């Protein structure tokens, strides 16, 4: 529908549009005061003022105004578009700079001092001071340690920093909950003393307004409280947050907020509260993304809470999408599993197979870190170790001293079967070690020798360096637990040199003074195991409890039977023992925990493998018995299982007799 306007109405509309399109600073004062009133009271006042501001349009492009009579009509929207094109005021750069929002200027700051300089040019509001602190913290996180040290010193010396903190104390009561939480987090992360007035003010205000905090604000506040030491205000706020979270737990919808609260509030929380957090997390597992699953595993490790159902869900998701997880996060997940004493064969196998299939994209350092954490977990990733072994043998010189020590420890502790590569591997590692001998510490040298001895290799040059008086003196004078560990490791070296018939000069022996007077450990023998063994042995043999061999190896039970009693028994091949008890068969029953075996297998780990090897050399027939298996069986079944393990040939004969 067309709109017909009189000439006066058209002129009034044109003048209104012209004035409104001018910046406020270019409008005449009289128009600014009476713009709307004058337009509506008639044409005469507007016309008078219209000529008076022509001089103020210097530098502005103003076209001739068109007048429309009553007989010639146009659509109102078309007229507005035409007038918009006819009047285009050109703003100067100064005016444009003044109109840039504060948030955009803040994003352009590249250092904390830039932020402080900027905030001094604007009116300090609660939002601005909070955003400035957060921006300073974000800038600081991206810097190197040296840059952080310099920039933080300049920030603390800047006059605007103290003014900013004073403004925060004044505006704290008017801040939004989220701004309050972010301000506290940024101040704490920037290194402001927790006992300072500004931090204590934020803590008290947070206590007063805790009921107003939503789940995001609570999670940010929890992050800020996490690094703070115990104090009355901190403890009171933490307790209040725990009560708030416990009451609002059913209504939390954000997985990330829940994980943050679990991470920072669940560490010192009582077990019932941890279980409530666990149940809430389990109810939200359907919302877990891949990053959520990774972060949940590390969160549980931070809490020190091993929730097997939650870990199973997260690890299964990670194993199914292992190709989409970067190296650092994979390593963090494995280390968290180690800290929680949690084992997951599906996850470990998926990661090891993924690394093997993409071995070319991993550096030696990355593969060694994987192998090291697998060794801590007791998981023997045989395909990965074989693939890495081939790479190392091609160019062993690229390994650093730390790399060599980790590789030797991993392969010896996991008792990995090197097969035909054994001799070449130990010789290559020995050659690399010899190049580092001049700069090796005594403790590193001892660690390397222990690993080589466990692998059955005894390089004379390295042993000679270890057994020098100066090196042994350094080990002896080590204080605290280091001295005890060194003595224990020297005992292992001494045992291997004496029992493994190493082809080294006789003068290369560990002096008794270096071994010290370490008291051997003698753990308590399982009474259920002894009772079951007595029923198995009966009157045909002698049963001894808690036997210590070579002042080092503990045998839970030693069974001495006449040779004819064990004739036909399947025992490991060994040389005929030259001992006074050679007329009797000596069966060493060793109660073995799961930690002594490679996870998911019956393969003994390094120390147990060395113990079994040495007991065979000493003329014993070692038999390992699993602790957890015996503990779960009734007494009658326990005796039957032990009889099968200790006298397998007798058990076979009984079966054959029953069959006949």
Rounded CA-CA distance 172/206 in Å is 9
- Compute the residue count for the chain: 660
Comparing CA positions, the residue from 135, 231, 143, 246 lying closest to residue 185 is 135
What mean pLDDT do residues 146-170 have?
89
Lookup: tokens for 163: 């003014």
Comparing CA positions, the residue from 206, 164, 209, 171 lying closest to residue 185 is 206
Lookup: tokens for 606: 């390094």
What mean pLDDT do residues 310-314 have?
95
What mean pLDDT do residues 470-477 have?
84
Query: Cβ atoms within 10 A of the Cβ of 587, count?
Result: 25
The tens digit of pLDDT for each residue in 167-209 reads 898 888 888 999 999 999 999 998 888 889 999 999 999 999 9
Query: Is residue 39 helix, strand or coil?
Result: helix
Mean of the per-residue pLDDT values of the chain: 79
Tell me which of 309 and 26 has the higher pLDDT: 309
What mean pLDDT do residues 587-606 have?
88
Comparing CA positions, the residue from 562, 613, 554 lying closest to residue 586 is 562
The tens digit of pLDDT for each residue in 46-102 reads 333 333 333 333 334 434 333 333 433 444 444 444 444 443 444 444 444 445 678
- pTM for the model stands at 0.74
Lookup: tokens for 616: 């065979």
Lookup: tokens for 118: 């900027």
């Amino acid at each position: 529908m067309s709109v017909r306007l009189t000439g006066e109405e058209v002129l009034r509309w044109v003048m209104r549009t012209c004035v409104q399109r001018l910046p406020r600073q270019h409008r005449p004062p009289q128009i600014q005061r009476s713009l709307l009133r004058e337009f509506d009271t008639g044409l005469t006042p507007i016309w008078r003022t219209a000529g008076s501001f022509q001089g103020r349009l210097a530098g502005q492009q103003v076209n001739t105004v068109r007048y429309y009579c009553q007989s010639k009509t146009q659509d109102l929207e078309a007229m507005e578009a035409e007038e918009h094109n006819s009047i285009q005021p050109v703003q100067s750069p100064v005016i444009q700079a003044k109109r840039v929002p504060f948030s955009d200027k803040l994003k352009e700051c590249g250092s904390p001092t830039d932020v402080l300089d900027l905030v001094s040019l604007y009116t300090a509001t609660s939002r601005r001071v909070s955003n400035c602190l957060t921006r300073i913290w974000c800038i600081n996180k991206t810097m190197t340690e040296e840059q952080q040290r310099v920039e933080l010193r300049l920030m603390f010396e800047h006059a605007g920093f103290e003014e900013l903190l004073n403004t925060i104390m004044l505006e704290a009561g008017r801040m939004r909950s989220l701004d309050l939480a972010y301000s506290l987090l940024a101040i704490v992360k920037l290194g402001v003393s927790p006992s300072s007035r500004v931090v204590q003010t934020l803590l008290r205000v947070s206590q007063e307004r805790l009921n107003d905090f939503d789940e995001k604000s609570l999670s940010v506040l929890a992050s800020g409280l996490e690094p703070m030491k115990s104090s009355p205000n901190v403890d009171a706020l933490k307790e209040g947050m725990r009560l708030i979270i416990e009451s609002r737990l059913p209504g939390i919808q954000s997985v990330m907020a829940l994980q943050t609260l679990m991470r920072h509030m669940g560490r010192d929380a009582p077990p019932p509260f941890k279980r409530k957090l666990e149940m809430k997390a389990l109810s939200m597992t359907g919302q877990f993304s891949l990053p959520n699953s990774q972060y949940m595993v590390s969160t549980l490790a931070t809490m020190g809470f091993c929730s097997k159902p939650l870990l199973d869900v997260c690890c299964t998701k990670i194993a199914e999408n292992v190709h989409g997880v970067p190296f650092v996060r994979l390593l963090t997940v494995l280390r968290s599993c180690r800290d929680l004493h949690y084992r997951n064969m599906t996850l470990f196998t998926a990661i090891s197979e993924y690394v093997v299939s993409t071995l070319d994209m991993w550096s030696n350092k990355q593969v060694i870190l994987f192998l090291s954490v697998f060794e801590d977990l007791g998981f023997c990733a045989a395909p990965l170790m074989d693939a890495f072994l081939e790479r190392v043998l091609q160019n062993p010189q690229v390994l650093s001293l730390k790399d060599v020590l980790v590789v030797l420890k991993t392969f010896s502790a996991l008792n990995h079967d090197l097969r035909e590569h054994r001799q070449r591997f130990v010789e290559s590692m020995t050659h690399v070690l010899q190049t580092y001998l001049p700069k090796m510490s005594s403790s590193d040298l001892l660690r390397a020798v222990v690993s080589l001895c466990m692998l059955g290799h005894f390089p004379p040059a390295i042993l000679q360096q270890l057994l020098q008086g100066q090196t042994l003196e350094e080990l002896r004078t080590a204080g605290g637990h280091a001295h005890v560990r060194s003595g224990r490791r020297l005992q292992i070296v001494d045992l291997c040199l004496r029992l493994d018939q190493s082809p080294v000069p006789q003068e290369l022996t560990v002096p008794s003074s270096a071994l010290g007077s370490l008291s051997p450990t003698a753990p308590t023998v399982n009474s259920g195991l002894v009772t079951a063994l007595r029923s198995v042995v009966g009157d045909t043999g002698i049963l001894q409890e808690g036997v210590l061999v070579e002042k080092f190896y503990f045998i839970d039970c030693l069974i001495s039977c006449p040779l004819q009693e064990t004739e036909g028994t399947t025992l490991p091949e060994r040389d005929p023992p030259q001992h006074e008890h050679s007329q009797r068969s000596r069966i060493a029953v060793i109660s073995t925990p799961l930690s002594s075996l490679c996870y998911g297998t019956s393969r003994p780990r390094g120390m147990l493998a060395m113990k079994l090897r040495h007991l065979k050399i000493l003329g014993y027939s070692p038999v390992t018995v699993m602790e957890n298996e015996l503990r779960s069986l009734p007494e009658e079944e326990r005796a039957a299982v032990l009889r099968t393990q200790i006298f397998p040939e007798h058990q076979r004969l009984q079966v054959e007799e029953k069959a006949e």
